[in-house]
Amino acid sequence: MTLALIIAAETFFASVLTAVFYWIDKRAARAGTQRIPEKTLLLASVLGGWPGGCLAGQKLRHKTAKVSYRIQFVVAAVIHVLAVVAILWAGLR
């Protein structure tokens, strides 16, 4: 299995998990019950779940109005992309 395929699979599964986290958090917000901390959502994003977080956020209309969260989310996505580029670059050497 190539390094790129491993990274793609990890990103896919992290994205699915992050989307589930967004769905759970949205349900909790509506029900007024305990929520998933933003730090957890952002950690899941930086670990590769940002595509799922982005799609779930738009589809569920969750965390889209909070500008401070959106900025942190973009930073998390950029960190992940830079890490993937660095890993792939190192793997090519």
Q: What are the sequence ranges of the domains in the chain?
A: 3-92
What is the per-residue pLDDT across 51-78, written as a single tens digit (0 to 9) for each?
999 999 999 999 988 999 999 999 999 9
Contact 24, 36 (CB under 8 A): yes
pLDDT score at 17? 98
If phi > 0 it is left, if psi is from -120 to 50 it is alpha, else beta; for residue 2 that is beta
For range 26-44, the mean pLDDT:
97
pLDDT score at 91? 81
Contact 51, 11 (CB under 8 A): yes
Confidence of residue 92 (pLDDT cuts 50, 70, 90): confident
